[in-house]
A and B are shown apart, each in its own frame.
Chain A
Amino acid sequence: MQSFGRKDTILLIVVALLVLLAPVILNPFPQASSLAQFNAGYPDLMQRFVIFGIFAIGFNILFGLTGYLSFGHAAFLGAGSYAAVWMFKLLSMNVIPAIVLAVVVGGLFAALIGYVSLRRSGIYFSILTLAFAQMSFALAYSVLTPLTNGETGLQLSLSDPRIFDPAATGSLPTTNLFGIDMRATTTIFAGPWEFQLNAGYYMSGLIMLVAFWLSIRIFRSPFGMMLRAVKSNQQRMSYTGLSTRPYTLAAFVISGMYAGLAGGLLAAMDPLAGAERMQWTASGEVVLMTILGGAGSLIGPVLGAGFIKYFENIFSKINDSVLHTWFGALPDGLETALVTLVHPFVGKGWHLTLGLLFMLVVIFLPGGLVEGGRRIRGVVGRRNRKAGDPEARAASKQPAE
């Protein structure tokens, strides 16, 4: 039943292995091959996978469990980034104080916005959060310039106090975890393959695992059950003696802290913070990630985050010259025709492909990628059952997750 049972432990171990081996798994093509551009195992992108995974895991605690659709979560991510960069400027280049403050700021900011927005539900709640986030974005761009450095974005400079660090000379200092440079990368050459092991990625990955574990705990707790009850029937909840508002506010603040954490980690990987991180497109992105992966499921949001970030970074790099090399072996007329045909879907047109995929998933797999996986398992399970496997029969009776 609802416990941190064997299934959850297995899921956590699988995710941990994936995080550990990602630099290998995501680089399946030899460096020199023409398919190498589909390799996603470089530090910058892998960091994004896990950081946006954290963002989506947190968003899912609010949206997946309570059904409250926030369109302003990027505001907390942005606030976390600003808080982290300020820590780098004032205290130290060690990432710990930066990440801690990012979480605290994300949570406080969420408490403030949530307190007001949660007076309404449904579409009105979504609009209120959207309004607050756009307001924060506009403020960060204009009147809050002393705090956010406006359009340029908040950056490090040599003249920052950094009271715990020795004075920087020459070049800007880099972020570190007790001396381990976040940018430190060891490259392993295995024949024609290249695998990059990056310190920042592994720290973010470890934090994502902790965040994921916490989210499983919340899903399996009485508190998580109450959040699902909020989604199901608020009227019955209040006539059962439960006050819905504190539950939704707690979920909102927790997801705000996850967003702050993600923002802090983004800054820890690259000590910059710009107002565009708060923009509504960024808020919309996490909604897409969660729905695409499967809202309300445990692993879905992480899958969705990975999926979208992969498209954003890999598909967008396929330009016409790449297409010409792919189809180069074909006769000229056919080559040009194919390139023209594929052109709108790749490169700058990656949004189109993503949009089409999103539509397909929402229409045919309303439970997201997770439901896709479940259906495949169902088909396989049915085959096993035909073969007379009693274990598969028992397993299929258990409702998944």
Chain B
Amino acid sequence: MSILEVKNVGKRFGGLQALGDVNLSIAENSCHAIIGPNGAGKSTLLNCLIGKLIPDTGSVMFDGQSVLGRKPHEINQMGISRVFQTPEIFADLSVWENVMIPIFAKRDGSFRMHAFESVARERKVVDGAMQMLDDVNMADKRDLLAGSLSRGDKRRLEMAMCLSQNPRLLLLDEPTAGMARADTNNTIELLREIRTKRDITMVIIEHDMHVVFSLADRITVLAQGTPLVEDTPDRIKGHPKVQEAYLGEAAH
């Protein structure tokens, strides 16, 4: 069963047709990678899914409901979380608080005037955040300011924030960009572990073919705003059109 249905999505920026006519169907509990050369429209597509951009044409349905025209916080409340290319965290707050905030958001909705309750008394949230930090091996860093973390840790923290909400769909925009090899491998391990532990669908945009082929069940190759081909990793590797449009470019 597909959880995300993208139909005939097009987006134009002035004279540039960033997305032509994108159709995607993403199966529940799968990991679907979107690859393509720079400027292929990967980020534009992701931004259309998350409410940051509104496509000119087409529809995006998540679990039978349209996400178009909804605000980012409403889309998150539907069960979609996103990991950004540069980690977006609350740099001035402690690591622990960074994870508590999404848990509060999940529990209380987009706004609640809980001004006279004490954070420390919210045992469930505090413990939930602690558990989550344990899961990503960051429990010892809970009291640090999030802004002081290393890039790799910021990425893990961002993932912990997203996962603490138990999202049904996790969108990852180049989660290993700028990471050292060891960190990349750790991230792959982390994502694999998450998939074995939970029911979660992932859509991942990635340049690093090692990451894509280690994680994805299906791969869509995007070129010049249109999907070139969609198949399993093994068949994508040998596909002539892909060689030409993408993997070939990497060999230059």
Enumerate chain A interface residues (CB-CB to B < 8 A).
1-5, 217-218, 220-226, 228-229, 231-233, 235-243, 246-247, 250, 254, 399
| Bound form: Cα–Cα A223–B114 in Å | 5
Query: Are A238 and B114 within 8 A (Cβ)?
Result: no
Chain A at the B interface: SS class: helix
Query: Are A236 and B122 within 8 A (Cβ)?
Result: no
Query: Are B102 and A240 within 8 A (Cβ)?
Result: yes
Within the complex, which residue of B82, B93, B109, B113 is in contact with A225, where a contact is CB–CB below 8 Å?
Answer: B93
Query: Are B90 and A239 within 8 A (Cβ)?
Result: no
User: Is B203 located at the chain interface by the 8 A CB criterion?
Assistant: no
Number of residues in B with C-beta < 8 Å to the partner? 43
Residues of B within 8 A of A233 (CB): 88-91
CB of A190, distance to nearest CB on chain B (Å) = 42
| Bound form: Cα–Cα A219–B250 in Å | 52
Residues of B within 8 A of A250 (CB): 113, 115
Query: Are A231 and B92 within 8 A (Cβ)?
Result: yes
Enumerate chain B interface residues (CB-CB to A < 8 A).
50, 71-73, 76-77, 81-82, 84, 88-93, 96-97, 100-102, 104-106, 108-122, 125-126, 143, 161, 165
Q: A229-B101, A247-B111 are in contact. Are A220 and B120 (CB under 8 A)?
A: yes
Query: Are B92 and A228 within 8 A (Cβ)?
Result: yes
Query: Are A240 and B71 within 8 A (Cβ)?
Result: no
Residues of A within 8 A of B118 (CB): 2-4, 217, 220-221
Residues of A within 8 A of B105 (CB): 240-242
Residues of A within 8 A of B122 (CB): 222
A-B contact list, 10 entries, CB within 8 Å: A2-B119, A218-B115, A218-B116, A222-B100, A235-B88, A239-B76, A241-B105, A242-B73, A242-B105, A246-B111
CB of B103, distance to nearest CB on chain A (Å) = 10
Query: Are B116 and A242 within 8 A (Cβ)?
Result: no
Residues of B within 8 A of A240 (CB): 73, 76, 81, 101-102, 105, 161, 165
Query: Are B114 and A222 within 8 A (Cβ)?
Result: yes
| Bound form: Cα–Cα A228–B145 in Å | 13
Residues of B within 8 A of A239 (CB): 50, 72-73, 76, 81-82, 84, 88
Query: Are B120 and A2 within 8 A (Cβ)?
Result: yes
- Apart from A233-B88, A233-B89, list 11 A-B contacts with CB within 8 A: A4-B118, A5-B120, A221-B115, A221-B117, A225-B93, A225-B97, A225-B104, A233-B91, A241-B73, A241-B165, A243-B110
Query: Are B73 and A238 within 8 A (Cβ)?
Result: yes
| Bound form: Cα–Cα A337–B102 in Å | 65
Residues of B within 8 A of A4 (CB): 118, 120
Within the complex, which residue of A1, A218, A236, A241 is in contact with B90, where a contact is CB–CB below 8 Å?
Answer: A236
